[in-house]
Structure 1
Amino acid sequence: MANTPSTGQTWRHTIVNRRTILSAILLVLVIVVITSNQFWRWMYPIGYQTDIQQAARVSHVDPLLVASVIRVESKFQTEDVSHAGAIGLMQLMPQTAQWIAQQMRSEGLPYNPSLIGGSTADLSVPAINIHVGAWYIHYLIKQFNGNEVAAIAAYNAGPKRVKQWLGSGQWNGELSTITDIPVGETRHFVDRVFYNYNLYQRIYGGDKAWQAQS
């Protein structure tokens, strides 16, 4: 006579089957969540979205590149002030902000008069800080003939030093060779900015509001 499973064995098999099914459902749910844009937007949020998009549109620069610089510079903390005196979301030096405001005025673009006067009171205001910083990124990209990598290096190290590196052959201005950048802080800055930029492009790039305007 064939052996029949006991009530205890049947119950154990039922529990195992239910656990297997539940585990499979949970695995599917996890896969769905981590492959959704909503999850990654929660993991990598962008603050001050409207201000970034508006400033980038005025300055003709990719808003996701602006957002990447902000994430690295301040992690979207408006009160951030560096030991060197750089202020706000985009960590702008007062002298640089003053010069930028003067250039924006000469181009007929909206500018903040208090910055031209040397005041730093408004430089921590998000909309003003982002507006000035976005223009500066665009200016640097033009200075380096459209080379965004060299421009971001110049944002950290200054355009004069980056031009010296390129002119002397110390660095060729490409992302794949940033280990040749002679200043460690700048190497790290460029690497982090473009790491975040690539992430943001994958997460937000399909959204029309975040697409670069020519």
Structure 2
Amino acid sequence: MKKKVIIIVLLLVLLLFFERFYFFVLKQIYPLKFSESISKYSSEIGVDPYLICAIIKSESNFNQHAVSRKGAVGLMQLSPSTAKWVAQKLKVQYSDENLYNPDYNIKLGSWYIKYLINYYNGDIKLAVAAYNAGLTNVDKWLSNIKRYTIEVTEIPFKETNHFVRRVFKSYEMYKKLYPKAFKHTDY
């Protein structure tokens, strides 16, 4: 009987250690950086901060100096033409160099994803797809299937299909790993 109790206690200690190690590893895979800027602009603009984290994770893995093959820049991988358009809408000065500034990039990217969410009447899946593939492509897909939404499995661009899946997986992970990171999350 004593042996069983000792084994049970050891197993419980091991499980407790494993759980902490598990969360430590997950937080390395899903880091939370620039949380002050994310919090500030998600609150100001009215977009879920965990969605912003998930987009940044999926786009640049929190590398503020990231540049894609297509020329998208910074944390949220904004194309200069999109960033210039958003800057005009926000009435802020635009410069290519500012796209590497986390605060500036998060502000523009947060506004843009909120714009897409509004454009698609709150359909976050469509907004995330358009963030990756562009409004024109998503509108064309919807027109082809004659519906107002699309299932992830129906997204014809392989890259966008994977992007949407990654964003939503990251979104769930950020909510689980950092439940108290942001004050307002009811968007």
Change (3 A) 1:21 1:182: closer
2:185 is the counterpart of 1:209: no
Secondary structure (helix, strand or coil) at the match of 1:89 reads: coil
Match of 1:196 in 2: 170
Structure-2-length-normalised TM-score: 0.87
Read off the aligned partner of 2:145 and give its amino acid letter: G
Read off the aligned partner of 1:138 and give its amino acid letter: K
Say whether the 8 Å CA contact 1:64–1:210 is kept in structure 2.
no
Point out the structure with max Rg over C-alpha: 1
Superposition CA RMSD, Å: 2.7
Q: Deviations over 1:27-63 (max 9, x none)?
A: 243355268x777545522110001111111111001
Say whether the 8 Å CA contact 1:89–1:129 is kept in structure 2.
yes
Secondary structure (helix, strand or coil) at the match of 1:123 reads: helix
Match of 2:117 in 1: 141
Read off the aligned partner of 1:153 and give its amino acid letter: A
Say whether the 8 Å CA contact 2:30–2:57 is kept in structure 1.
no
2:70 is the counterpart of 1:84: yes
Change (3 A) 1:70 1:208: closer
Match of 1:96 in 2: 82
Aligned residues: 186
Secondary structure (helix, strand or coil) at the match of 1:145 reads: coil
Q: Deviations over 1:63-113 (max 9, x none)?
A: 1101100000000011110111110000011111000011112xxxxx2x1
Change (3 A) 1:25 1:145: closer
2:101 to 119, 122, 125: 125
Identity of aligned residues (%): 36
Structure 1 gaps of 5+ residues are 1-13, 106-110
1:67 to 32, 36, 53: 53
1:161 to 137, 141, 153: 137
Match of 1:108 in 2: none
State the distance in 2 between where 1:55 and 1:61 align. Answer: 8
Structure-1-length-normalised TM-score: 0.77
